[in-house]
Amino acid sequence: MLSERTCVGLDVHARSVVACMIDDVAGEVRTLRLSPKTPHVVDYVCGAGGARTHDLTDYESAALTS
């Protein structure tokens, strides 16, 4: 079983990214609207939890229907 202190979720769109960070130990939830530019998102995620031993990634995509 993995034990993580900080989890980050990203809601990514063409013009904005909303990040939600959950600190499991402190019980804090923080949200932030980011620029969709890749370096801004990477800097935020890499700085979110400090040094980590595990990184887990998941991707969800909705199909467009007409």
Domain assignment present for 60:
no
- The residues near 32 (Cβ < 8 Å, ≥ 6 apart) are 18, 19, 21, 44
Mean pLDDT score of the chain? 75
pTM over 0.75: no
Give the range of the structural domain holding residue 43, as residue numbers without chain letter. Answer: 6-48
Domain assignment present for 64:
no
* Averaged pLDDT for residues 14-36: 87
Distance from C-alpha of 44 to C-alpha of 62, rounded to nearest angstrom: 25
Confidence grade of residue 27 (pLDDT, cut at 50, 70, 90): confident
Identify any residues that bridge with 12 across adjacent strands, giving them in sequence order: 17
Identify any residues that bridge with 31 across adjacent strands, giving them in sequence order: 20
Domain assignment present for 53:
no
Number of structural domains (the chain) is 1
Domain assignment present for 54:
no
Identify any residues that bridge with 30 across adjacent strands, giving them in sequence order: 21
Residue-wise pLDDT for 46-61, tens only, equals 876 554 545 666 666 6
Helix (H, G, I), strand (E, B) or coil at 48: helix
